[in-house]
Amino acid sequence: MDRPAPDPDRLIVTPVLGMVGASSGGFMAGLLGGSGATAFSVWSSLVTVAGVLVLLGIYGSIVRRIA
């Protein structure tokens, strides 16, 4: 089984995607009528994790198409 090539940008890209995904998850939850990510709570954690997962999925599909 081949190992993937090392990605030197991952130390920068991953935290940036996490921050942008968490912010966009909170923004989208606010647009849909929820409270978004307003404080440290279970709801805020779920909203931010959902935003990050969606953004990472989009990023992964883009990177796979390019490679």
Over residues 31-41, the pLDDT tens digits come to 887 766 667 77
- Does a structural domain hold residue 50? yes
- Does a structural domain hold residue 3? no
Q: How many domains is the chain built from?
A: 1
- Does a structural domain hold residue 4? no
Reference 51, options 14, 15, 33, 26; nearest CA is 26
- Does a structural domain hold residue 67? yes
- Does a structural domain hold residue 62? yes
The residue segments making up the domain with residue 67 are 42-67
- Does a structural domain hold residue 10? no
CB count within 10 Å of CB 51 equals 23
- Does a structural domain hold residue 47? yes
| Per-residue pLDDT tens over the stretch 14-63 | 888 888 888 888 888 888 877 666 677 788 888 888 888 989 888 888 88
- Does a structural domain hold residue 25? no
